Amino acid sequence: MVSASAPGKIILFGEHAVVYGRPAIAAPVSQLRATATVTPGTAGVQLVAPDLDRVQWLDAAPEDDALAAALRRLQQALALDALPPMVVTVRSAIPIASGLGSGAAITAAIIRAVTAYLQPAFPLTPAWVSALTYEVEKLYHGTPSGIDNTVVAFEQPVYFVRRQPRNQIEPFGVARPLRLLVADTGRRSQTRDVVLDVRRQWQADGARFEALFDGCGQLAAAARAAIEQGDVARVGQLMDANHALLVRMSVSSPELDRLVGAARAAGALGAKLSGAGRGGNMLALVSAEGETAVGQALRAAGATHVLTTVLGHNQLS
């Protein structure tokens, strides 16, 4: 038996604009993980997702099934004529369709576990896992920027710019820990649909959207500097500014705006939606003293889950 896992992720700055080549910042959420376990099978390849109540034979899975796609792409990448009989079981603590990168994490976990099972000596580098995960992400997203697969495969905060022929991926230092509450609106939202809608709006009003994307990119660059300098208050202001731009792109929602407003009123240093928007999760930057009050305010405003993640807590600086 072989198991492997991958974390969820949050986007701190620059979602949507990152699809159009502007910089963005994302970080792993290590306590939320997807895990894949491989055991020998008797006939064929079986995909089991107990959380989804799903058992599927690979041979019978449709072309656009993302779990099956992960195995099919992996088979190609390893240049195998066939996969041996095995059972691949996938579990995930990352809520789906909520901006936390569950799709990328599940794919990366499958790629890691199945590769380790089939070819224990294969060098499973983060770059290789990321590239293969990206291929499968295209099924979930249509035009993914590549930031999700990068963060889940490298499992560290990154400053990311989508580029040809090679993305710019820069891990960076966190001078003072950032304490973030991740609060779920409880409303699911499909990244693919929201990304498509932004594309339609961009096609209809290019100048306006290019300016909004530029604004997001500038905020991401400024945020990286603030994070590297340990200017936590400034990071909060930049989060507020990023949320305002996302509202103008029409990717917020009444639920997200309510949580953002409640967090700020309860003393958060900054708050914004995270990920594709129109549902899913938001982030509130808090001090250690302010955490309880902001968490309570988020729940009172309708958050279905609130978790804390600390960026940079394991760095000495």
Binding region for ligand PMV (CB under 6 A): 11, 15-16, 18-19, 99-101, 141, 144-145, 147-148, 191, 195, 275-276
- In angstroms, rounded to a whole number, what is the distance separating the alpha carbons of residues 73 and 77? 6
Kindly tell me which of 101 and 270 has the beta carbon lying closer to ligand PMV: 101
Q: Decide if 5 contacts 276 (C-beta within 8 A).
A: no
- The candidate with the shortest Cα–Cα distance to 298, out of 255, 249, 234, 269, is 255
Tokens of 234: 């400034």
Kindly tell me which of 58 and 260 has the beta carbon lying closer to ligand PMV: 260
Give residue 104's identity as a one-letter amino acid code: A
Kindly tell me which of 81 and 166 has the beta carbon lying closer to ligand PMV: 166
Minimum CB distance to ligand PMV, residue 208 (Å): 18
Kindly tell me which of 26 and 181 has the beta carbon lying closer to ligand PMV: 26
Minimum CB distance to ligand PMV, residue 126 (Å): 18
**Active site residue: 53, 65, 148, 205, which one?**
148
Catalytic site includes residue 148: yes
Minimum CB distance to ligand PMV, residue 107 (Å): 12
- In angstroms, rounded to a whole number, what is the distance separating the alpha carbons of residues 152 and 205? 33
Whole-angstrom CA distances from 257 to 173, 240, 261, 273, 305 are 30, 11, 6, 8, 16
Q: Decide if 184 contacts 100 (C-beta within 8 A).
A: no
Minimum CB distance to ligand PMV, residue 128 (Å): 20
Minimum CB distance to ligand PMV, residue 308 (Å): 19
- Tell me if residue 6 falls in helix, strand or coil: strand
Q: Decide if 290 contacts 181 (C-beta within 8 A).
A: no
Buried b (16+ CB within 10 A) or exposed e, 157-195: bbbbbbeeeebebeeeebbbbbbbbbbbbebebbbbebb
Tokens of 197: 């809608």
Minimum CB distance to ligand PMV, residue 254 (Å): 18
Kindly tell me which of 113 and 151 has the beta carbon lying closer to ligand PMV: 151
State the first-to-last Cα distance of the chain, in angstroms, to the nearest integer.
40
Q: Decide if 253 contacts 187 (C-beta within 8 A).
A: yes
Kindly tell me which of 279 and 290 has the beta carbon lying closer to ligand PMV: 279
Q: Which residues are catalytic?
A: 148
